[in-house]
Structure 1
Amino acid sequence: MFGNRIYSKVLYLFFICLVAKFFFFDFLWCLQTTFVSCSRIETYLDAVLVTLVLLLPLVCFRAVKTTLAIFVLVDLLLVTNLMYFRTYFTAIPLSSYMLAGNLKDFTASVCDASRWMDLFFPLSTLFAGFVWWKYGRNESAEVPGSRFPLRYFLLILVTGLLSFGLIEMKRGYKAAFESLQNANMHTCGTPMYTVFGSLYYDYLREQVVYTPEIEKHINTWLADKPAWKPLPVKIEVRDNCILILAESLESWVLEKTVEGNEITPYLNKLLKDSTTLYAPYVLTQVKGGRSIDAQLLFDTGLLPIANGAYSTKFPSSYYPSVVKAFKEKYPGARAYGMTVDKRIVWNQNIVAPMFGYDQLLDKQSFILDERVGPHKKLGDVSFFRQCADKIEDGVVWNKDGHTFLQCVTYSGHNPFILPKELKNIFFSAEIPQRMNDYMTMANYTDRAIGLFIERLKQSGILNNTMVVVTGDHEGLADARSMLCDTKAGKGLVSDQQFTPLIIINSPVGMRYEKVMGQVDIYPTLLSLLGLDNYAWKGLGRSILDPDKKAFAIDPNYKVVGDAGDVSDEELRFAKDAWTVSDMIIRCDYLGRMNEGSSSVNQK
């Protein structure tokens, strides 16, 4: 305990220390995006309000140790959210706190997102604790003035009423937060309303109830979607399909030579083949689920939910898929998924069968004979070699019918650590280390895919199989702008989050040089596989549709591509697809529709 004079000084010190944490958090957050939130009074008002509330144990009970414990928890919350934001550009969703156990597989990526400036948070707590230990802990106790707690509560009340008033002027908290969901303000919610406010918004999102208004909104959007256009000429579709999701593979490394090193020589060779379809400008549209969001986009033609990962929040919703369409056309067809991760990561063990896969082969199905990355997971070369073995042995191949196979790689995961003995190319010290590591890893993945394709050729399987290679999402995250400004990266590293779409042995060979979204891959696959009769066409448009416009909407509602001939109404409609998809998944709209009819009708 300590006297009133020391008590007041410690309280002021702790208040300044805690409010400084929130203000510095806002600064680091805005440093990655925009400082627009710094011009909003909510940013300062809510930080002060939360600070006042968190200091109540100190004010009411002089509980310094409890307050310091609160400081430590706040530090953890703020730092982890900053690290998460540097990759995903959003705060950690409420549901993701229950998935903390998954982080052990991504520790290196998490650590890679830390910055030396983050030390301010634990150091400020240590400073406050040291000052109290040095000057206040041995002071004799005195009875505090009865007016001080009363004034303190009055201050909280006034601050709270001001904050509440600003929120009510915007028709409630949910509406206030959602008013920021546009291209310029989408990252401002957390600094304006604090991390706690973001968590509360996530909670409110979880309380969505399926209503006639929601059903009407979805029905209207789907009814207004342009009609499906089958290919004008008949194509020779393939009997089988292999979909490869290459971890963090971006387009800019393809067809590039740096310091005499061709980064992706095998894929470059495939791009010259007349039966290859290549689209280099596929805009990343994943959100909080990252790789599992990519599977949602490619397999179902749906966009990710607004917050969190659909695979953990709504794994049992009904999902039409390209796999189900494939099986509908070919009764008796089999579908397999293969990953080097554990099946529990992102709830893949539940999602895979919901998408129509008959079997998921995970980490335990492969021999760990080539270790890559900080957690020494199975490298891409060995992974694809073992995939080829399983195909040739009939473990994951329906030799008497049709097969759909999905392979998800891991080696390209941030921070792109590749053992020296596995490297085939080397760069000078003039290349920034992150760029060096990324290109080296891309070369390794290219070699792995090349060896796999050659095995398929030798076995004759490629003759009647379409192989789709695409990146699950971008990989450079917040390092992109820095690399684009370097001498080595300028003009080489793309300033946009583009992944490639490469379809080998495609019934339609072409080079699509326009911007498309990841959500457009699903309808494109339906077209190429001759699955036009499947009811669910997804939310995107096939790039084989001549009327498709050359733009896409990123997760932050930014328009990317050539939208010069796109009307405001078309842009509004495209942006609304994100809201519609969120409601479809969250309310299990497709499941409800499927229960009422034999199929999900969509033109």
Structure 2
Amino acid sequence: MKLTHKIIHILQQSKYPFFVFILLCIQLIYMHYTIVTDKGELTTFAYLENLGTTLIDAGLLLFFPFLFINKRKYIYIIFFVLIDILLLTNIWYSRNFHAYFPLSLITEYNNLQGLTSNILVSISFLDLIIPFASIFALLIIYHKFQPNISWKNRLVTSFTFLGTSFILITAFFALIFLRSSTPKEKFIMPYAYTPLETTFRHGVFYYFFIQAWNSSSQHYSEEELLKLKPLFNAQSTGIIPEQNKNIIIIIVESLLSFANDLNFNGQEITPNLNQLKKENTYYNQHVIPQTQLGESSDGQFIYLIGLLPLKNTVTIVNHLKNKYITFPSLLKQQDKIKESHMTIPTGPTYWRQDNMCQHYQIDTLFSRNDYPQRQAMWLNDEEIFKLAQSKDIKMPQPFLSIILTASTHSPYNQAIEENTTFNFPKEYTQELQNYLINLHYTDRQIGNYILFLKQNQLYDNSIIVITSDHEAHADFLNLPPSLKHITHEIPLYIINVPNVIKRSSHDTIKQMDIFPTLLDLTGIQSSWRGVGRSLLMSDSIANSNREKERRENAQKISDIIIHSDYFKTYQRPNTN
């Protein structure tokens, strides 16, 4: 009878804390299911894992508050405010970057400049579930929790939830043992390649742990390094151009191949880009994006270094100080250019562009701070290209000029200018229509810039590369399922091609192929040629077993080089 009485007493004591526990579980589940929008790869067991780890997370989060907070109930307000901030930050971040919020970005608050509209568009009415659940929990705490609960009773309540968490954790490890997989195979390795799904399955505390582990642990073995090291270098085509030309790289924000062949009422969306196809231009509309959490910064990383970014973190934040072999540095070392500069629409510190330029070994960075009478937080594309023109014309030739655009950046809740030209199909969402109107505006600015180059005798003496940093995401465009395929490819234009590119413009290529292509177009002789395939590489070499193996292991090679800081720690490749 005494045992029964104690059990009943414990259950009565835990009744209202249990309601608070359930409300916190609802908040956590809402966050996870909101962040992982594509659940096609999740198994039934993954959903069960998510439920189990949610119970574990809630029990662990509430253990110390239940144990130590007694009379000072206002501390619960601080606790739930912090919980709400954590959950909503992850939800709103995921709607822009399709990932859980990386802890390494906590100090990157300056990157919110100019993103107010993105944040506002990210807010959904259903997100009220988070603060409302907290309010209900606080009402229970203030009106139902006894004011003077003894230490013994609080200890029993807290350890009831902690014990439940411990039992569930033990069950998970037992299942791992029964499935004959090690903790590393279950928890560590999957996060490297599927961080979103892995976090969904293993929960918040797992995410905190794995983020801390990622920042302090070696992610490769010496055996892996020795095995893949022979694949790090690639063969040059040996092509030497007749003269060194300016290299101009225009990275258009969220440029989709889909848009380039569209016309409505006889009016093209991108008439100027389409005109460039008819000139001495290699055009490929089947480029597969390979960016990860860093989005735009990842695009620059791929193009200027030739490596793929890490899948589970923002590469430039955690590994910016590494030593890299970069396209600008190779141009400078081999006397292909006299000067390099980059023009961006934001402030110089946004996404660490100033530090990135130093590590890419770009001589000068021009930003909105260099534009006279600037008004907005970001320059629009007309202002960007005017700023680029004013700098390009003064530079000693040959030079490297990199231009980043911004006017096609999400969100697409409004257009830059009024639509008086296009009669869009009914199936086009308002967001897609706005995107196409903005792209039409950007295309006009590219056309004006090309005209400037021609009028100032810079065009014929320049290799001009136009591509995108990454795709425009289907969620931002609010696309129906029938149109989601339009976001899968981005275009590549190479204008004034100095050598014949025999690779078919209908072939599917990847972002990683652009770096080695730039090296071959400019005659760079270096054993480091990135992890992709140059468009000038002959089929006989490209189809060799070694080259196939290099491409198949592109991500692993990139991961090892980045994590090991290979170019600093080990031998730098020959750049002569």
TM bucket normalised to smaller:
0.7 to 0.9
**Change in CA separation of 1:28 and 1:587 when aligned onto 2, cut-off 3 Å:** same
CA deviation profile, 1:50-85 (whole Å, cap 9, x unmatched):
111212244324544434433332232223223333
Report matched runs for 1:111-260 at 5 Å.
111-133=120-142, 135-136=143-144, 141=148, 143=150, 145=153, 147-166=156-175, 173-180=183-190, 187-209=196-218, 213-214=221-222, 216-224=223-231, 227-230=234-237, 236=242, 238-260=244-266
Q: Distance in 1 between matches of 2:517 and 2:544?
A: 21
Task: Give the corresponding residue for 1:560.
Answer: none
1:320 Cα deviation after fit: 0.8
Q: How many pairs align?
A: 559
Q: Distance in 2 between matches of 1:82 and 1:253?
A: 30
8 Å CA contact 2:57–2:204 kept in 1: the answer is no
2:554 pairs with 557, 577, 591, which one? 577
Structure 1 counterpart of 2:25, one-letter code: V
* 2:37 is the counterpart of 1:45: no
Task: Give the corresponding residue for 2:481.
Answer: 485
Structure 1 counterpart of 2:81, one-letter code: V
**Change in CA separation of 1:150 and 1:447 when aligned onto 2, cut-off 3 Å:** closer
1:291 Cα deviation after fit: 1.3
8 Å CA contact 1:302–1:581 kept in 2: the answer is yes
8 Å CA contact 2:235–2:527 kept in 1: the answer is no
Q: Which moved more, 1:144-153 or 1:427-436?
A: 144-153
**Change in CA separation of 1:574 and 1:82 when aligned onto 2, cut-off 3 Å:** farther
Task: Give the corresponding residue for 1:85.
Answer: 94
Task: Give the corresponding residue for 1:388.
Answer: 389
* 2:402 is the counterpart of 1:406: yes
CA deviation profile, 1:75-132 (whole Å, cap 9, x unmatched):
3222322333334332222212221331233222233233332221112112222344
CA deviation profile, 1:201-245 (whole Å, cap 9, x unmatched):
12112223488x43x5345324246842516x7654551101111
**Change in CA separation of 1:420 and 1:188 when aligned onto 2, cut-off 3 Å:** closer
Q: Find the residue that maps to 2:66 and give its secondary structure.
A: helix
Q: TM-score, normalised by structure 2?
A: 0.87
Q: Distance in 2 between matches of 1:278 and 1:127?
A: 58
Q: Distance in 2 between matches of 1:11 and 1:566?
A: 64
1:524 pairs with 517, 520, 524, which one? 517
8 Å CA contact 2:259–2:269 kept in 1: the answer is yes
Q: Distance in 2 between matches of 1:589 and 1:50?
A: 37
Percent identical: 25
Q: Distance in 1 between matches of 2:540 and 2:128?
A: 49
1:339 Cα deviation after fit: 0.9
Q: Distance in 2 between matches of 1:171 and 1:325?
A: 45
CA deviation profile, 1:501-523 (whole Å, cap 9, x unmatched):
11111224666211111111000
8 Å CA contact 2:247–2:462 kept in 1: the answer is yes
* 2:327 is the counterpart of 1:327: no
8 Å CA contact 2:337–2:400 kept in 1: the answer is no
* Superposed CA RMSD: 3.3
8 Å CA contact 2:10–2:156 kept in 1: the answer is no
1:439 Cα deviation after fit: 0.4
8 Å CA contact 1:424–1:444 kept in 2: the answer is no
* 2:438 is the counterpart of 1:441: yes
| Structure 2 unmatched ranges of 5 or more | 1-8
Task: Give the corresponding residue for 2:354.
Answer: 349
Name the one with the larger helix percent: 2
Task: Give the corresponding residue for 2:272.
Answer: 266
Q: Which moved more, 1:289-298 or 1:414-423?
A: 414-423
8 Å CA contact 1:32–1:478 kept in 2: the answer is no
Q: Distance in 2 between matches of 1:124 and 1:58?
A: 17
8 Å CA contact 1:422–1:444 kept in 2: the answer is no
Q: Distance in 2 between matches of 1:546 and 1:506?
A: 17
* 2:290 is the counterpart of 1:280: no
1:414 Cα deviation after fit: 0.6
1:498 pairs with 489, 495, 509, which one? 489
**Change in CA separation of 1:548 and 1:455 when aligned onto 2, cut-off 3 Å:** farther
1:322 Cα deviation after fit: 1.5
1:601 Cα deviation after fit: 3.8
Q: Which moved more, 1:498-507 or 1:19-28?
A: 19-28
**Change in CA separation of 1:239 and 1:219 when aligned onto 2, cut-off 3 Å:** farther
Task: Give the corresponding residue for 1:587.
Answer: 564
Q: Which moved more, 1:346-355 or 1:306-315?
A: 306-315
1:188 Cα deviation after fit: 1.8
Task: Give the corresponding residue for 1:562.
Answer: none
**Change in CA separation of 1:331 and 1:387 when aligned onto 2, cut-off 3 Å:** closer
1:361 Cα deviation after fit: 1.4
**Change in CA separation of 1:189 and 1:462 when aligned onto 2, cut-off 3 Å:** same
2:319 pairs with 301, 314, 322, which one? 314
8 Å CA contact 2:303–2:511 kept in 1: the answer is yes
Q: TM-score, normalised by structure 1?
A: 0.83
Q: Distance in 2 between matches of 1:549 and 1:122?
A: 59
8 Å CA contact 2:31–2:87 kept in 1: the answer is yes
CA deviation profile, 1:272-302 (whole Å, cap 9, x unmatched):
22x1011111111111211111111111111
**Change in CA separation of 1:99 and 1:522 when aligned onto 2, cut-off 3 Å:** same
| Structure 1 unmatched ranges of 5 or more | 551-564
Structure 2 counterpart of 1:475, one-letter code: A
Q: Distance in 1 between matches of 2:544 and 2:210?
A: 33
**Change in CA separation of 1:573 and 1:72 when aligned onto 2, cut-off 3 Å:** farther
Structure 2 counterpart of 1:485, one-letter code: P
Q: Distance in 2 between matches of 1:310 and 1:57?
A: 35
Q: Distance in 1 between matches of 2:522 and 2:308?
A: 21
Q: Distance in 2 between matches of 1:62 and 1:336?
A: 57
Q: Distance in 2 between matches of 1:4 and 1:208?
A: 43
8 Å CA contact 1:542–1:548 kept in 2: the answer is no
Q: Distance in 1 between matches of 2:505 and 2:68?
A: 67
Q: Distance in 1 between matches of 2:141 and 2:334?
A: 73
Q: Find the residue that maps to 2:108 and give its secondary structure.
A: helix
1:250 Cα deviation after fit: 1.4
CA deviation profile, 1:435-476 (whole Å, cap 9, x unmatched):
011101111111111100000001111111111111111122
Task: Give the corresponding residue for 2:498.
Answer: 507
**Change in CA separation of 1:154 and 1:220 when aligned onto 2, cut-off 3 Å:** closer
Q: Distance in 2 between matches of 1:290 and 1:147?
A: 48
Structure 2 counterpart of 1:136, one-letter code: K
Task: Give the corresponding residue for 1:600.
Answer: 573
* 2:15 is the counterpart of 1:9: yes
8 Å CA contact 1:470–1:501 kept in 2: the answer is yes
Structure 1 counterpart of 2:328, one-letter code: V
Q: Which moved more, 1:76-85 or 1:434-443?
A: 76-85
8 Å CA contact 2:255–2:467 kept in 1: the answer is yes
